[in-house]
Structure 1
Amino acid sequence: LTPKHFLPVSLKGVKDGDYAMIYGYPGGTNRYETSYGIKLKNEIDNPALVSLRDMRLKNMYAQMIKDPAVKLKLASNYAGIANYWKFFDGETKQLVKFKTYEAKQKYEQNFATWAKGKPAYENILSDYEKAYAAWTPYSKHRQYLREGILGSPLAAFASSLMGLEAAMVKQGTTSADIKKAAEASNAQRQGFIAAEDQPSDVKILAAVAQAFYTDIDKNQHPIGFYEKLKAAYGNLNDENTYKKWATDVFANSIILNDTKWAAFMGNPDAITLQADPAFDFASSFVKSYNTKYAPYFNEFNNKNNELGRSYMKGIMEMNPAAVNKMYPDANFSMRVSFGNVKSYKPRDAVQYDYITTSKGILEKYKAGDYEYDLPVKQVEMLKKKDFGQYIDKTRNDLVIGFITSNDITGGNSGSPVLDGSGNLIGLAFDGNYEALSHKIAFDKDLNRTINVDIRYVLWCIDKLGGAKNLINELKLVR
């Protein structure tokens, strides 16, 4: 294949104020969110997400530090959970800090004044208020199911067997249909077993079952589950009750027993599946939510989308001069962001430089540490300043990363960062903590994109990895 164009790679480096452009596919923003949505996010959804993810992370980490094999097995899942744990925590703090809720309320007051007497718009905000009031009592339930109950890998896999159950109990289902569903479940189980760490998961299962009981309105509990738990194990306010129950679930589930699972696959039947303690647990919560509360969420979601279209139309009519400066929210379509390499001051007396260097890597390096360990070869090369052609001559060091004022979000990780001549200067991979409210509110003074300097990438490929052949295929701009 011969592409029409490929990106030249710059070895020139960056300086404060340099132009930077990022191409990518940002996943989603909600820049036109209402005050009602921010209130729900700040007070219910985000705190629940942070709490439940924290619970899972602590139990995973406790096992990961004991065994390198477990650390390797859980590393990817742990990183994914931790990434958005930090995001939701930071988002809430920044939305509160910058009084985004109050700013949205003020804007909505202006909209209400403008909309008065206009039938198409005058009831939009009151309809928003009604929609959120109807859904809010159940929002925490949804988060505790998704991030809590189904945060246990065993429970998540067990819930996936509801499709097999449906095939077995549905009238008119053929044996071929059941066999096909069973084969799909068996294939999925192989992936689950390969990734499963039982010592951490049994603790997660106990913790999330207790959290749901404690934190969710008793009227919303799945009928019969906690009553059976109390009858068999005792006090529902005692964490030992849940620990004993979870231990028994892991000991008795056919999902975790190869012999019993093989027998079930050989002759799948609904009675055996429904009697399984892991399936009974997961399906009780999922079925309860799907039957009673999912319709409320669907109604809320549909109404929110409907109102959103009308609200946006009204905003554009209210501010016709600003329409050309408005832009659609991110939705995984290609977007281009323009900005500059730029340092920033997150708070009084604190200044963050626009680049980081290998000096910072060595300062953080800690042999054997989960976060800050390094290959011995890398440490030696950095200490010797063996940087080759990738050295930044103005710093006499290897530049690792730099920050820019570009507007990105989740989905942009790995997006190319170009200079004013279209040369590749880095790859975007994160945003700064102080601007984690960016999905809703972009602050040009604080928002920064964190990029890896392409010279460090090339150094890793060439000097550290020894893959000079790959470097020879590139067009380097000096």
Structure 2
Amino acid sequence: MSLRSRLALLALTLLTVFTTLPARADEGLWLPLLLKQLNEADMQKKGLKLTAEQIYSINQGSLKDAIVQFGGGCTGEIISDQGLLLTNHHCGYSQIQSHSSVENDYLTKGYWAMNREQELPNPGLTATFIVRMEDVTSQVLAGVPATGIAEAQREQLVQQNSQRVAQAAVQGTGYQAFVRPMFNGNEYYLFVTEVFQDIRLVGAPPSSIGKFGGDTDNWAWPRHTGDFSLFRIYAGPDNKPAPYSPANKPFKPRYYLPISLAGVQPGDFTMVFGFPGRTNEYLTSWGVEETYSVSNPAKIAVRDAKLRVLDADMKASDKVRIQYAAKYAGIANYWKKWIGENRGLKKLDAVRVKQQQEVEFQRWAESGNDARRAAFGGLLPELQRHYALGRDYTLARDYVSEAALGIELVVYANSLLPLLELTNRQAPAAERVAAVEKLKKGATGFFRNYNVATDQKVATQLLPLYANGTPAALLPSYVKALGKQYATTGWDAYAAQLYGQSRLTSQASALAVLDEVAAGKFDALRQDPAMKLAEAIVSHYRTAILPTYNLATDQIALLQRTYMAGLRLQQPERKFYPDANSTLRLAYGQVAGYEPADGVRYDFYTTLDGIMEKADPTNPDFEVPARLAELYQNKDYGPYAYKGTVPVAFIATNHTTGGNSGSPVINGRGELIGTNFDRNWEGTMSDIMFDPDRVRNITLDVRYMLFVVDKYAGAGHLVKEMTLVGAPDSGAGATPDKELKKVKVKRKKG
């Protein structure tokens, strides 16, 4: 019986299945809509004092109304009734960089708006609230055959239905909407959103606080990074989203988070509310092995080479440092994460554990009735076969994305390929000129943060990695020919010629090329060596790699969807959560230290004392600002002290991933106790396999944020906006009702 036929038998069974079922302790990225059904009792048992309705509600202000997706990849939280937004320093890094120059180096010195007029606009930056979410599985799958169509065709039908559902949900409103798959496409959920466009920079500590520890401490514990920045959401006169205007007013939120000064202790309940990016918790052993043995090693090697070049050039030039600060941070972040992930997967023996799970699944599949055997009996061998078919294509894809497109000149040339296609098909002059004008605008942003000498050094390192790492059968003939041509002199000689002859290496000459194309002189673009290289790589990728890669991944997606459905049938007592996909989720756990290795025990928090212990003026990662050292010497901590120092960070067992950066960490009473900014290195494999004994999320203690804003920066006017609440035994407290009870803590002098 074919797989399609097996799926047909499965379809009737799945229509009657709804599982509500427990992951391991503290594991899970839960949909807020389902907290009442799945998690409320367990959360309250662990210390939650709220109800599910106080966390997620569409009828009254709730915690979810204080949470935003910050830009496209982070989370932020509203901490005042005037739209003040708290997120990570690294989440606001590109905005801080965009306002920086050698003369006004806000990256190095920090920035603090002392009044509303000094708050800086950030074109393109958005803050997105979730208005509501809804299970729309039946609408999305209406008319989608369970069998008999290719996965790509099924996906097309799903997308069409999803668009109709989303459009209908917001018709006649100012909201936006989208639909996301859950459980590998077994379920679909609608998210209605409100997107604000006027987001202004309010405050950011210097990098010596916001990035203290740098790449040395990244993904590590103990951690002493003041990883926060402050923004403000502005709205139109009706408190609705509006484009930037000096006339806009601070946004009045439905709800904002009160801030607790009580601190945390081991065993305290914590929850993280945010927009985690991507996890693959239900990956099979073949998927884990491909990640561990194929993809991660290739990507680590490429990024390692690129980072070495950028690091040297950034240290040699302040201009280059500012140009590449955000780029370097982004590249380094996942480079180190992948290294830690592989270490964690090895430590957990993840491939073998997955294989054992698959043995149990196969035994279950074959021990059932005819329908179960037909639907699941041959599933795992099919998955294995398609992973094997796609393995080389996955590697080739990784080398294109990381190595070939890790060269900025190739990236820029690639952005011009649509224009080249217009000239090749002799498009009308008006269409060509319009395309040129659009590309000219984009050139300004690209070249503002581009250094040609640095990029040439990167190309010298990455081209041989691309040429030698890509499976030979999948390397473009153009690149093979270059390898032979420069076999004696090396890729550095080719890079020198490439950058010496291309006219796309500076803004002035690139704009001149575009003007020539607009005037009908097409050879200026066609004959440019950077265009030839980019076209050879990208066209080969599109024709020789992507089709087979997509075919293999489409089949894996279809089979994985069936496997996910089977797992839920096989384990009816387990609570399943959907993998992260940048939608609003809640994770919960408890404050706890951990033991990373034999004989090593890490405590649950760090303090300002540790910053001073790490201080090293000869190491840029561990420079300490003079003002911070002065406050430490004078023990001038204000009301933010704990045991004679200032708490900086703490760890807990919450399940987090990329996208949770900037997420609020909230106590059992619904009060903000910190801002999530990282995971421990030993726990980075949690995107694939969660280990409650080793996985920890790292949180900036809110008391250190307040200390920096108030005592270090002298921006106490911002603290006055916030609602600070005292320790539980002081009688102060806050509850997430529609109207917040504001309990201010008196701020002591000095």
Structure 2 length-normalised TM: 0.61
Structure 1 residues 320-469: aligned runs within 5 Å: 320-322=572-574, 325-367=575-617, 369-392=619-642, 395-469=643-717
Structure 2 partner of 1:279 = 531
What's the offset of the Cα at 1:368? 5.2
Structure 1's 263 and 423: CA in aligned 2 closer, same or farther, altered over 3 A? Answer: closer
Q: 1:222 aligns with which of 476, 481, 503?
A: 476
CA contact 2:607–2:648 (8 Å) conserved in 1? yes
Structure 1's 12 and 176: CA in aligned 2 closer, same or farther, altered over 3 A? Answer: same
State whether structure 2 residue 383 is matched by structure 1 residue 108: no
CA contact 2:665–2:675 (8 Å) conserved in 1? yes
Q: 1:50 aligns with which of 293, 296, 300?
A: 300
What's the offset of the Cα at 1:72? 2.0
Structure 2 partner of 1:83 = 333
What's the offset of the Cα at 1:88? 0.8
State whether structure 2 residue 421 is matched by structure 1 residue 166: yes
Q: Which amino acid aligns with 1:438?
A: S
Distance 2:253 2:297 in 1: 48
The SS at the match of 1:191 is helix
Distance 1:251 1:473 in 2: 56
What's the offset of the Cα at 1:474? 1.2
Residue deviations 1:383-436, cap 9 Å, x none? 3221111111xx210000000111111100111111111111100010010111
Structure 1 residues 56-95: aligned runs within 5 Å: 56-95=306-345
Structure 2 partner of 1:267 = 516
The SS at the match of 2:375 is coil
Distance 1:31 1:229 in 2: 40
**Count of paired positions:** 468
What's the offset of the Cα at 1:277? 1.4
Structure 1's 310 and 262: CA in aligned 2 closer, same or farther, altered over 3 A? Answer: closer
What's the offset of the Cα at 1:274? 2.2
Residue deviations 1:336-391, cap 9 Å, x none? 11111111111111111100000111122222533122322122222322111111
What's the offset of the Cα at 1:262? 3.4
Q: 2:460 aligns with which of 206, 209, 214?
A: 206
Shifted more, 196-205 versus 31-40: the winner is 196-205
Residue deviations 1:94-120, cap 9 Å, x none? 111111100100111111122225111
Residue deviations 1:249-277, cap 9 Å, x none? 11221112455433322220442212111
CA contact 2:396–2:470 (8 Å) conserved in 1? yes
Distance 1:210 1:158 in 2: 19
Distance 1:415 1:91 in 2: 21
Q: 2:502 aligns with which of 242, 248, 253?
A: 253
CA contact 1:417–1:424 (8 Å) conserved in 2? yes
Q: Which amino acid aligns with 2:499?
A: F
CA contact 1:398–1:456 (8 Å) conserved in 2? yes
Distance 2:270 2:506 in 1: 55
Q: Which amino acid aligns with 2:539?
A: K
Distance 1:132 1:215 in 2: 19
State whether structure 2 residue 438 is matched by structure 1 residue 189: no
Distance 2:476 2:254 in 1: 59
State whether structure 2 residue 260 is matched by structure 1 residue 5: no
What's the offset of the Cα at 1:62? 1.1
What's the offset of the Cα at 1:228? 4.3
For structure 2, the 5+ residue unaligned runs are: 1-250, 727-750
Structure 1 partner of 2:562 = 310
Structure 1 partner of 2:130 = none
Distance 2:278 2:566 in 1: 22
For structure 1, the 5+ residue unaligned runs are: none
Distance 2:507 2:454 in 1: 20
- In proportion to residue count, which structure has more helix? 1
Structure 1 residues 121-160: aligned runs within 5 Å: 121-160=376-415
Shifted more, 263-272 versus 62-71: the winner is 263-272
The SS at the match of 2:445 is helix
Q: Which amino acid aligns with 1:242?
A: W
The SS at the match of 1:73 is helix
Structure 1 length-normalised TM: 0.95
The SS at the match of 1:426 is strand
Structure 1's 458 and 126: CA in aligned 2 closer, same or farther, altered over 3 A? Answer: same
The SS at the match of 2:493 is helix
Distance 1:14 1:387 in 2: 18
The SS at the match of 1:119 is helix
Structure 1 partner of 2:430 = 176
Residue deviations 1:124-175, cap 9 Å, x none? 111101111111122221111100011011111111111111121124x211
Q: Which amino acid aligns with 1:181?
A: A
Structure 1 partner of 2:490 = 241
Residue deviations 1:251-310, cap 9 Å, x none? 221112455433322220442212111121122111111111100111122111111111
CA contact 2:436–2:515 (8 Å) conserved in 1? no
Structure 1 partner of 2:283 = 33
Structure 1's 260 and 83: CA in aligned 2 closer, same or farther, altered over 3 A? Answer: closer
Greater RCO structure (CA 8 Å; 6+ sep): 1
CA contact 2:709–2:715 (8 Å) conserved in 1? yes
Distance 1:369 1:174 in 2: 58
Distance 2:307 2:548 in 1: 30
CA contact 1:63–1:199 (8 Å) conserved in 2? no
CA contact 1:23–1:334 (8 Å) conserved in 2? yes
What's the offset of the Cα at 1:234? 4.4
Structure 1's 258 and 413: CA in aligned 2 closer, same or farther, altered over 3 A? Answer: closer
